[in-house]
């Protein structure tokens, strides 16, 4: 029997920025609770709900005066000290997970809490699951629509004009180094994603929770590195005292990169196309090593993508701030430009601010690791929503084609619905966005709202199967919100 669920969800999954290849992989082998959920809600298989985050929450801890925030998987491992069985497992559960546990676990328990509002956000668990929203997170509701997005693979990024630049990566506490990075200028990537006029800056995120803000245009703040515009050229600085290749225990700068060979102290660094903020893909000709979490919940590696801002104030590699011996040629300078500290590693998400009205954020700590595995990055926020809308409409049409006739009032209704949505698709494509919005709101949603406002389909509803109707309704509602951004 044909089912609408999987195909509708495939369209919705992209909007929620959760790669289909990633989430099932992060469920533990032998995990019967996930099997129970999939049995109760087969249409949610492969979505963001098909993961540990369904029942587990993230958390944070403070060490050395610094607070570290972790996603559900990392927090669970932290609380459980990487051992099984876990004595503290209950402490990692969100409200939905706690209700599931209290009801005795199993498929019956999941069905028994379907009409609960576990997270207290005004929507029952069943409604939130139909809309692919976390039933244990009050900040994730059907009323909140994910912002416009673009997903880029490494192969796609490599098809764009590439830029290479040799520069110093100057750190405060770790090793400084020279290297040549190659990738796509961040400004070129954002232009390809089609920024809205309202866009002001970006925030880049790594899946371990690290984030960094960058204004779109030059900013006087020494800690803010801009996206558009060139950076000043620099000279090459070399002194044997700093070279860790000569003095592994006392040196502080790594000159071993092939791109540093043959350069002398004071030589001008010539980058024919200038220095730019770069979304790097390679370092000295090699793909960046993908980021992974080590046993201390720290990020190792820098790939598949790293944001590389050049120095705004070019200078030499200075001594580490925590080094005891500062009587060196370039002692630590707190006013120096330590650009490496603002160079985010393993970036998987680029958020363009401000988010358009009516849209919401994503769970930044849950959406990243699958993108590292798949060599992907997502740009979302204040960008043109039309490609997102068109993608969602195509997915919607495909889903309706796979829906059994029994879900409709009669056999003609699915064909008529496809015709209406195809018309909307053409209206969006050719710029008649107001007409498209009107057709969605007054012509389509009104024919599938009975199960939303009540317990059964209305007499004028074309879709009479309530589960199918709910999925279609919330998917179309997202398109309505996105259309309002450009009308």
Q: Can you tell me the distance from the alpha carbon of 194 to that of 180, in angstroms, rounded to the nearest whole number?
A: 28
Q: Can you tell me the distance from the alpha carbon of 189 to that of 279, in angstroms, rounded to the nearest whole number?
A: 8
Task: Give residue 71's pLDDT.
Answer: 65
Q: Can you tell me the distance from the alpha carbon of 227 to that of 279, in angstroms, rounded to the nearest whole number?
A: 10
Contact assessment for residue 484 and residue 389, using Cβ atoms and an 8 Å cutoff: no
- Min mean pLDDT across 144-153, 179-188, 193-202, 275-284 is at 144-153
Task: Give residue 357's pLDDT.
Answer: 87
Q: What is the mean pLDDT of residues 97-109?
A: 94
Residue 81 above 90 pLDDT? no
Q: How confident is the model at residue 240 (pLDDT cuts 50, 70, 90)?
A: very high
The bridge status of strand 349-353 relative to strand 145-146 is unpaired
Measured at the CA of 147, the angle between CA 154 and CA 9, to 5 degrees, comes to 75
Contact assessment for residue 390 and residue 428, using Cβ atoms and an 8 Å cutoff: yes
> Is the Cα torsion angle 44, 25, 120, 353 positive or negative in sign?
negative
Task: Give residue 366's pLDDT.
Answer: 58
Q: Which residues pair with 378 in a beta bridge?
A: 151, 349
Per-residue CA distances from 203 to 37, 198, 350, 356, 381 (Å): 34, 15, 6, 15, 10
pLDDT in tens, 123-140: 999 989 988 888 998 878
Task: Give residue 70's pLDDT.
Answer: 66
Which residue spans within 362-455 are E strands per DSSP?
Answer: 376-381
Output DSSP code: residue 454: S
> What is residue 464's three-state secondary structure?
coil
Q: How many residues does the chain have?
A: 487
Task: Give residue 31's pLDDT.
Answer: 73
pLDDT in tens, 3-55: 333 333 333 333 333 322 233 334 555 578 889 999 999 878 877 788 788 89
pLDDT in tens, 422-440: 999 999 999 999 999 999 9
Which residue spans within 295-358 are E strands per DSSP?
Answer: 299-300, 306-308, 349-353
Output DSSP code: residue 120: -
pLDDT in tens, 367-389: 578 889 999 999 999 999 999 99
pLDDT in tens, 187-214: 999 999 999 999 999 999 888 778 899 9
Q: How confident is the model at residue 482 (pLDDT cuts 50, 70, 90)?
A: very high
Element (H, E) at 431: none
Q: Report the 10 Å Cβ neighbour count for 136.
A: 25
Task: Give residue 259's pLDDT.
Answer: 98
Which residue spans within 278-330 are E strands per DSSP?
Answer: 278-283, 286-287, 292-293, 299-300, 306-308
Q: Can you tell me the distance from the alpha carbon of 212 to that of 202, in angstroms, rounded to the nearest whole number?
A: 8
Phi and psi at residue 381, in whole multiples of 5°? Answer: 120, -125
Mean pLDDT score of the chain: 87
Q: What is the mean pLDDT of residues 253-273?
A: 97
Q: How confident is the model at residue 178 (pLDDT cuts 50, 70, 90)?
A: very high
Per-residue CA distances from 355 to 13, 147, 237, 279, 432 (Å): 19, 7, 42, 22, 23
Q: How confident is the model at residue 90 (pLDDT cuts 50, 70, 90)?
A: confident
Phi and psi at residue 118, in whole multiples of 5°? Answer: -60, -40
Residue (of 137, 109, 75, 119) closest to 361 by Cα position: 137
Per-residue CA distances from 77 to 69, 85, 100, 368, 410 (Å): 13, 11, 20, 17, 51
- Min mean pLDDT across 260-264, 307-311, 449-453 is at 449-453
Residue 61 above 80 pLDDT? no
Q: For the chain, what percent of residues have pLDDT higher than 70?
A: 88
pLDDT in tens, 395-416: 999 989 999 999 999 989 999 9
- Min mean pLDDT across 61-75, 102-116, 179-193, 270-284 is at 61-75
Task: Give residue 84's pLDDT.
Answer: 57
For the purposes of burial, counting CB atoms within 10 Å of the CB of 110, is it exposed (0-12), middle (13-18) or buried (19 or more)?
buried
Q: Report the 10 Å Cβ neighbour count for 1.
A: 4
Element (H, E) at 212: strand 211-215
Task: Give residue 63's pLDDT.
Answer: 64
Task: Give residue 46's pLDDT.
Answer: 73
- Min mean pLDDT across 103-117, 119-133, 303-317 is at 119-133
């Amino acid at each position: 029997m044909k089912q609408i669920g999987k195909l509708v969800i495939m369209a919705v999954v992209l909007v929620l920025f959760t790669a289909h290849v990633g989430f099932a992989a992060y469920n533990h082998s032998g995990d019967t609770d996930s099997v129970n959920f999939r049995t109760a809600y087969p249409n949610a298989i492969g979505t963001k709900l098909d993961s540990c985050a369904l029942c587990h929450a993230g958390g944070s801890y403070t060490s050395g005066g610094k607070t570290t925030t972790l996603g559900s998987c990392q927090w669970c491992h932290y609380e459980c000290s990487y051992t099984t069985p876990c004595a503290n497992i209950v402490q990692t559960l969100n409200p939905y997970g706690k209700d599931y546990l209290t009801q005795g676990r199993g498929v019956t328990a999941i069905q028994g809490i379907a009409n609960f509002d576990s997270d207290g956000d005004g929507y029952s668990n069943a409604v939130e699951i139909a809309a692919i929203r976390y039933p244990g997170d009050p900040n994730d509701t059907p009323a909140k629509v994910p912002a416009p997005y673009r997903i880029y693979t490494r192969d796609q990024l490599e098809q764009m004009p590439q830029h290479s630049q040799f520069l110093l990566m100057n750190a405060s506490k770790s090793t400084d180094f020279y290297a040549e990075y190659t990738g796509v200028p961040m400004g070129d990537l954002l232009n390809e994603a089609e920024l809205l006029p309202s866009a002001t800056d970006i925030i880049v995120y790594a899946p371990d929770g690290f984030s960094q803000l960058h204004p779109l245009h030059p900013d006087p703040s020494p800690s803010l590195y801009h996206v558009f515009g060139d950076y000043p050229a620099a000279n090459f600085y070399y002194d044997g005292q700093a070279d860790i290749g000569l003095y592994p225990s006392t040196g502080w700068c790594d000159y071993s990169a092939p791109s540093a060979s043959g350069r002398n102290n004071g030589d001008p660094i010539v980058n024919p196309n200038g220095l730019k903020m770069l979304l790097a893909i390679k370092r000295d000709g090699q793909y960046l090593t993908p980021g992974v979490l080590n046993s201390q919940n720290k990020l190792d590696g820098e790939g598949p993508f790293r944001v590389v801002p050049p120095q705004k104030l070019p200078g030499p590699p200075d001594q580490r701030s925590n080094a005891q011996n500062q009587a060196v040629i370039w002692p630590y300078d707190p006013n120096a430009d330590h650009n490496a500290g603002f160079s985010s590693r393993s970036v998987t998400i680029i958020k363009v601010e401000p988010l358009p009205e009516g849209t919401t954020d994503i769970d930044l700590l849950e959406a990243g690791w699958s993108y590292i595995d798949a060599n992907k990055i997502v740009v979302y926020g204040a960008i043109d929503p039309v490609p997102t809308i068109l993608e969602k409409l195509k997915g919607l049409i495909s889903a309706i084609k796979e829906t059994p006739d029994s879900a409709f009032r009669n056999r003609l209704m699915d064909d008529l619905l496809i015709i209406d949505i195809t018309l909307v698709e053409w209206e969006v494509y050719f710029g008649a966005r107001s007409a498209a919005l009107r057709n969605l709101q007054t012509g389509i949603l009104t024919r599938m709202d009975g199960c939303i406002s009540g317990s059964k389909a209305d007499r004028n509803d074309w879709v009479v199967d309530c589960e199918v109707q709910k999925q279609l309704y919330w998917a179309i509602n997202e398109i309505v919100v996105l259309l309002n951004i450009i009308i």
